[in-house]
Amino acid sequence: MRGLIPDSFIDELLARVDIVDVIERRVPLKKAGREWTACCPFHDERTPSFYVSPAKQFFHCFGCGAHGSAIKFLMDYERLEFPDAVEELAQSVGLTVPREGGRDERPREDKTDLYALLDASAGWYQAQLPKSPEAQAYCRKRGLDADTIARFRLGWAPAGYDGVIKALGNSPRRMELLAEAGMVSSGERGGKYDRFRERLMFPILDRRGRVIAFGGRVLSSEQSPKYLNSPETPLFHKGRELFALWQVKQANANLQRIVVVEGYMDVIALHQAGLPIAVATLGTATTPEHTELLFRAAPDVVFCFDGDRAGRAAAWKALDAALPRLRDGRQAYFLFLPEGEDPDTLVRKEGRDGFEQRLKNATPLSDYFFDELARDVDVASLDGRARLAERARPLIARLPDGAFRDLMAQELERRTGASARLQGNPATQRAVERPPTAQRSLVRSAIALLLTQPGIADRVEKPYRFLRLDRPGVELLAELLDLARSRPGINPAMLVEHFAERPEYAALQKLMAAAVVGEPEAQRIEFMDALARMDEQAVALRRETLLAKMRGGPLDDGEKAELRELLAARVRPGVAAD
């Protein structure tokens, strides 16, 4: 939602940013004529169907249908709400987002109060840590120094059922926010109590460094569960977030490698040891969303797991999630640790250099892939090699087109003697091809041409004669013309973004995404011709209406005069002088 951000600022912002730059910082683009293209970041595909138009300042995927302005791209790609996407773009070009109205007018979608409450909760937990001898002793035992404790904003949730409630739930609205943020739970009789008690607290930050959730660890092995995370909330979805990703990005201006470990303490130990490249999933298996986040952050991803059965099962899930995202230039590795060890214990035993060496010796995804598939197969036998080929083929087919996919197919053939047989899916190919331009009504054609070149609105004078035509979209066309005329220099994305909260927004985006062929001057001629034909249709319809009425009875003097004028008319829309 736009909330209280003025439309004029949205115009200025979209005029300042270049959608090609915004997208290319996140998705590798290649020049393709007047446009840029890439494999779509919103669905798995092997051939590019994602196009970015510098002229329109608009993106569109012919495979999944995703489309929009630079703001819409950030909303979809970074999973931001509208105000956050605007903030992100504004920061990139040095603008400050203005707001209209007062605090009490803030829309319901604004989560500012929720972010503030979670930040206050983190501050309260931090203040409790020095007051707990037990928590302090645990931190010393784990070797945590003051800088690390401060960098990760570690805190302590004391015993008792209402510490956070007393500190922060001092009004009905604050209690409502505590519940929405997952900080309190409800008893069988409806009473509220603190969700986290007697736990070392780890704030979970989003990509902008804001607290969105917590993880809490007990200090004794007798308590359970060992780790407790915040529940799913409007701000927190554990399958889409990574612990410490924000700290990793803060510590590395040009990150080339990122390591995924299993526990919060493993992450923190590696950071403290001088390896600020570690993140962790949040009590869940690696998801496709996780792998996309990881590869956006760095081209090389090392998945670090225990060497036991559970660790290998987790590693295979990570591989499965990573396969469709292994475009050329991205690499995945797997590091399995000795029995009874974890990154925390190893880095304290071997130091930074020792763990760094383990990372360098990590198993490439290709080796792990074939070794794991062949684990219970006798590759010395013909039947065994056939089984390996059948297991590997559908997985290799999920890789995006490129050198890595070709080499994996070659390796499968080398190991088994069987061809990979990785022909493209004809249905998929048809889906990503540009569809032919559909036959549109004159009104839709005029709107599509106007969205291609908003500047042609200056050629149309008022009053708009086409308004006499009773057809869907005529009023919208007039509104678009008024808007384009009132804002000289407006680009197509800016024009469409003005309808972001209107029912017409989706239809306008589809028209914007449609290919409008021809040179600019030819498009301008076609646009003016469409208006002329609409006016002619309006005249013809009115003429036929009056003639039909005359056949059934007399016309009044006004209608007779109008009919005489219509019969003699040779109407064209007014055209401003060039």
Q: Which domains are delineated in the chain? A: 7-104 (3.90.580.10), 112-236 (3.90.980.10), 245-361 (3.40.1360.10), 374-430 (1.20.50), 442-568 (1.10.860.10)
Given a cut of 50, is residue 288 above it in pLDDT?
yes
More confident call, 461 vs 434: 461
Which of 108-117, 201-210, 470-479: highest mean pLDDT?
201-210
Which tens digits make up the pLDDT trace of 442-489? 888 888 888 888 889 888 888 887 887 878 888 999 999 998 888 887
Question: Quick check: helix, strand or coil at residue 242?
Answer: coil
Please provide residue 205's backbone torsions phi and psi, each rounded to the nearest 5 degrees.
-105, 150
Q: What is the pLDDT averaged over residues 294-317?
A: 92
- Give the pLDDT confidence of 42-92 residue by residue, as tens digits: 888 888 899 998 888 999 998 888 888 999 999 888 877 788 889 889 888
Q: Which residues contact 546 (CB under 8 A, 6 or more apart)?
A: 555, 559, 562, 563, 566
Burial of 462 (0-12, 13-18, 19+ CB in 10 A): exposed
Residue 239 in contact with residue 289, Cβ under 8 Å?
A: yes
Q: Token match 């798995």: residue?
A: 44
CA 373 to chain centre: 33
pLDDT higher than threshold 90 for residue 440: no
pLDDT of residue 492: 86
pLDDT at res. 354: 97
257-261 β-sheet, strand order: 278-280, 257-261, 300-306, 331-337, 363-364
Kindly report which listed range (28-32, 147-151, 174-178, 509-513) carries the lowest average pLDDT score: 509-513
Mean pLDDT is lowest, of 173-187, 420-434, 556-570, for 420-434
Look at 148-152, 411-415, 430-434 and tell me which has the smallest mean pLDDT: 430-434
pLDDT at residue 26 in the model: 87
Relative to beta strand 257-261, strand 300-306 is: parallel
Residues 6+ apart with CB under 8 A from 194: 157, 160, 161, 162, 163, 164, 165, 183, 184, 185
Q: What Å distances lie between residue 71 and 83, 445, 485, 510, CA to CA?
A: 9, 26, 23, 16
Confidence band, pLDDT 50/70/90 cuts, at residue 439: very low
**Better pLDDT: 446 or 302:** 302
Place of tokens 């595909």: 45
- For residue 425, pLDDT beyond 50: no
What is the predicted pLDDT for the residue at 1?
Answer: 43
Give yes or no for a contact between 244 and 266, defined as CB atoms under 8 angstroms apart.
Answer: no
Span 117-132, average pLDDT = 97
Q: Which of 102-111, 141-150, 269-278, 376-385 has the lowest mean pLDDT?
A: 102-111
- To which H or E segment does residue 223 belong? none
Sign of the CA dihedral 392, 394, 395, 397?
positive
Q: What are the contacts of 219-224 at 24+ separation with CB within 8 A?
A: 219/134, 219/135, 219/138, 223/198
Q: So what's the pLDDT on residue 201?
A: 98
**Which amino acid is located at 88 in the chain?**
E
Tell me, what's the pLDDT at 520? Answer: 77
- Asked which of 160-164, 199-203, 519-523 is least confident by mean pLDDT, the reply is 519-523
Residue 208's pLDDT band (boundaries 50, 70, 90)?
A: confident
Distance of alpha carbon 500 from alpha carbon 264, whole angstroms: 40
* Selected residue with higher pLDDT from 325 and 368: 368
Confidence of residue 142 (pLDDT cuts 50, 70, 90): very high
pLDDT at 577: 37
Q: How confident is the model at residue 501 (pLDDT cuts 50, 70, 90)?
A: confident
SS3 503: coil
Give the pLDDT score at 138. 95
Residue 221: pLDDT above 50? yes
Order across the sheet with 155-157: list the strands: 155-157, 199-205, 211-217, 227-229
Which span out of 161-175, 284-298, 516-530 was modeled with the highest average pLDDT? Answer: 161-175
How do strand 35-38 and strand 50-53 relate by DSSP bridges? antiparallel
pLDDT computed for residue 152 by the predictor = 98
Q: 506-530: per-residue pLDDT in tens?
A: 888 888 776 555 677 888 888 888 8
Q: What average pLDDT score do residues 82-111 get?
A: 71
In angstroms, the CA 259 to CA 298 distance is: 10
**What's the rounded Cα separation, in Å, for the pair 155 and 203?**
8
The mean pLDDT value for 185-193 works out to 85
| Mean pLDDT, range 165-184, rounded to an integer | 94
Q: What percent of the chain is modeled with pLDDT above 90?
A: 46
Average pLDDT over every residue of 14-43: 89
Average pLDDT of the chain is 86
Question: Can you tell me whether residue 382 is helix, strand or coil?
Answer: helix
Q: What angle do CA 524, 57, 38 make, to 5 degrees?
A: 120
54's tokens = 């510098």
Pairing state of beta strands 331-337 and 363-364? antiparallel
Distance CA 237, CA 233 (A): 7
pLDDT of residue 569: 62
- CB 391 within 8 Å of CB 360: no
1 or 82, higher pLDDT: 82
Are 152 and 247 contacting, i.e. CB atoms less than 8 angstroms apart?
yes
pTM value is 0.67
Q: What would the two tokens of residue 456 be?
A: 């042609």
Tell me the helix, strand and coil percentages in the chain, rounded to 5: 50, 10, 40
Task: Report the candidate in 212, 234, 193 with the shortest Cα–Cα distance to residue 118.
Answer: 212
Task: Say how far apart CA 166 and CA 194 lie, in whole Å.
Answer: 10
513-529 core/surface letters (b: 16 or more CB in 10 A; e: else): bbebeeeeeebbebbbb
Quick one: 225 exposed, middle or buried, by C-beta within 10 A (0-12, 13-18, 19+)? exposed
Q: What is the phi/psi pair of residue 265, to 5°?
A: -70, -30
374-399: per-residue pLDDT in tens?
999 998 999 999 999 999 999 999 99
First to last CA, the chain: 39
